[in-house]
């Protein structure tokens, strides 16, 4: 397989790390962006040991949107071109806190949606000019239907899904691939506070990573991971709103 140059935003994410490990084993070049510089160094060292040809890192808080053009340019320079980008950063906000204080709701929308729109816009223009590349973004099944227990997170991911549909339609004509990744429940630090993560609906980060690598390779548009969430969400989306609004979900 030809060597690939991969930019990972939110490289400290458990799902992103598992994905990066798979690409490192293929000898990829990687450029990692995350908040904590020390953790970045540890992650980079691990990926070098696993076979990555080159690993560069950059520490950034991705809510600082004005830094996005420089981040994309730095990755492009370091790897001599970006083939694939994986956008993995995100937060699962406390829904009750978001209801009590609009500032908490807006902060969750900012990191989960606005920052991704900003980054994808920069990357799309670069890749469209070169007529090549893949933009893979981790969304969530939570974006498919709003429900009372997590609709701020869901709204951010739902907005992201619509944005990515439009971006895919635009970039189709420029030879650039846009992938929307919709995981279900995954045992990562994000969900650590949730009770009983051992049930059959729960996946491990590496299960999701395997699906991400395969979907990128196959040029898929959208992927539910694991696959059975496609069936669950199909049923959830079929329920009439008049019934759905009465459920305690
Ligand atoms: N876990 C699930 O059940 C699940 C399900 C569906 C979708 N997802 C999505 O999967 C993606 C990866 O999440 P994960 O499950 O792997 O959880 P995770 O390990 O908690 O990763 C989330 C990452 O986002 C980073 N991040 C948060 N705010 C940031 C900011 N302002 N600037 C830069 N980075 C920031 C965090 O960095 P720090 O380490 O610095 O905090 C962390 O590394 C997210 O988009 C999430 O919404 C997760």
DSSP state letters, 24-54: HHTT-EEEEEES-HHHHHHHHHHHHHTT-SE
Is pLDDT of 88 > 70? yes
More confident residue, 198 or 156: 156
**Mean of pLDDT over the chain:** 97
Residue 126 covered by a domain? yes
Cα dihedral 162→112→57→64 (10° resolution): 110
Which residues are within 8 A (CB) of 129 and not within 5 positions of it... i.e. 6 or more apart? none
pLDDT at 195: 87
Compute the distance from residue 188 Cα to the ligand 1 centre, in Å.
Answer: 9
Determine the Cα–Cα distance for residues 126 and 147; give it in Å rounded to an integer: 36
Residue 240 covered by a domain? yes
Determine the Cα–Cα distance for residues 57 and 235; give it in Å rounded to an integer: 42
pLDDT at 2: 65
Q: What is the CATH number of the domain that holds 199?
A: 3.40.50.720
Compute the distance from residue 138 Cα to the ligand 1 centre, in Å.
Answer: 9
pLDDT digits (tens, 9 = 90+) for 21-69: 999 999 999 999 999 999 999 999 999 999 999 999 999 999 999 999 9
Residue to mutate, 19, 188, 225, ligand 1, most ligand atoms under 8 Å from C-beta? 188
Q: At what angle do helices 151-172 and 115-130 cross, to 10 degrees?
A: 10
Residue 17 covered by a domain? yes
Total number of domains constituting the chain: 1
| Band (178; pLDDT cuts 50, 70, 90) | very high
Ligand 1 atom 35: the closest Cα is on which residue?
89
| Band (154; pLDDT cuts 50, 70, 90) | very high
> Rg (Cα) of the chain, in Å, rounded?
18
pLDDT digits (tens, 9 = 90+) for 101-117: 999 999 999 999 999 99
- Our answer on whether the CB atom of 128 is closer than 6 Å to any ligand 1 atom is no
Contact 39, 14 (CB under 8 A): no
Name 9's bridge partners. Answer: 33, 87
Residue 235 covered by a domain? yes
Runs of H (alpha helix) within the chain: 14-25, 37-49, 68-79, 95-100, 102-109, 115-130, 151-172, 205-218, 228-238, 241-244
- Our answer on whether the CB atom of 182 is closer than 6 Å to any ligand 1 atom is no
Mean per-residue pLDDT, 205-220: 98
Residue 55 covered by a domain? yes
Q: Which two tokens stand for residue 215?
A: 């979907």
- Our answer on whether the CB atom of 63 is closer than 6 Å to any ligand 1 atom is yes
Residue 76 covered by a domain? yes
Domain extent, residue 160, equals 5-244
Ligand 1 atom 39: the closest Cα is on which residue?
12
Contact 150, 167 (CB under 8 A): no
Compute the distance from residue 11 Cα to the ligand 1 centre, in Å.
Answer: 9
- Closest to 222 measured CA to CA, from 159, 140, 150, 155: 140
Ligand 1 atom 47: the closest Cα is on which residue?
90
DSSP, collapsed to helix, strand or coil, labels residue 132 as: coil
168 φ, ψ (degrees, to nearest 5): -60, -45
Which residues are within 8 A (CB) of 15 and not within 5 positions of it... i.e. 6 or more apart? 88, 138, 183, 186, 188, 205, 208, 209, 212
pTM for this prediction: 0.98
- The yes-or-no answer on residue 153 being catalytic is yes
131 φ, ψ (degrees, to nearest 5): 60, 35
Compute the distance from residue 89 Cα to the ligand 1 centre, in Å.
Answer: 4
Residue 28 covered by a domain? yes
Catalytic residue among 23, 151, 153, 224: 153
Residue 249 covered by a domain? no
């Amino acid at each position: 397989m030809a060597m690939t140059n991969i930019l990972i935003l939110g490289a400290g994410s458990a799902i992103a790390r598992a994905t990066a490990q798979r690409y490192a084993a293929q000898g990829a070049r990687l450029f990692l962006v995350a908040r904590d510089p020390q953790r970045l160094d540890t992650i980079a060292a691990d990926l070098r040991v696993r076979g990555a040809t080159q690993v560069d890192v950059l520490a950034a808080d991705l809510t600082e949107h004005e830094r996005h053009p420089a981040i994309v340019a730095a990755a492009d320079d370091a790897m001599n071109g970006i083939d694939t980008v994986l956008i993995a950063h995100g937060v699962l906000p406390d829904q009750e806190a978001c209801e009590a204080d609009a500032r908490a709701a807006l902060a969750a929308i900012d990191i989960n949606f606005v920052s991704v729109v900003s980054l994808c816009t920069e990357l799309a223009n670069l890749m469209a000019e070169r007529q090549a590349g893949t933009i893979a973004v981790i969304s969530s099944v939570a974006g498919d239907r709003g429900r009372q227990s997590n609709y701020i997170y869901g709204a951010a991911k739902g907005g992201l899904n619509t944005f990515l549909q439009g971006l895919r339609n635009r970039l189709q004509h420029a030879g650039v691939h846009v992938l929307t990744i919709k995981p279900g429940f995954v045992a990562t630090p994000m969900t650590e506070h949730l009770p009983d993560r051992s049930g059959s609906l729960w996946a491990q980060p590496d299960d999701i990573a395997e699906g991400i690598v395969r979907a990128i390779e196959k040029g898929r548009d959208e992927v539910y991971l694991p696959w059975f969430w496609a069936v669950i969400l199909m049923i959830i989306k079929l329920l009439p709103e008049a019934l759905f609004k009465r459920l305690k979900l």
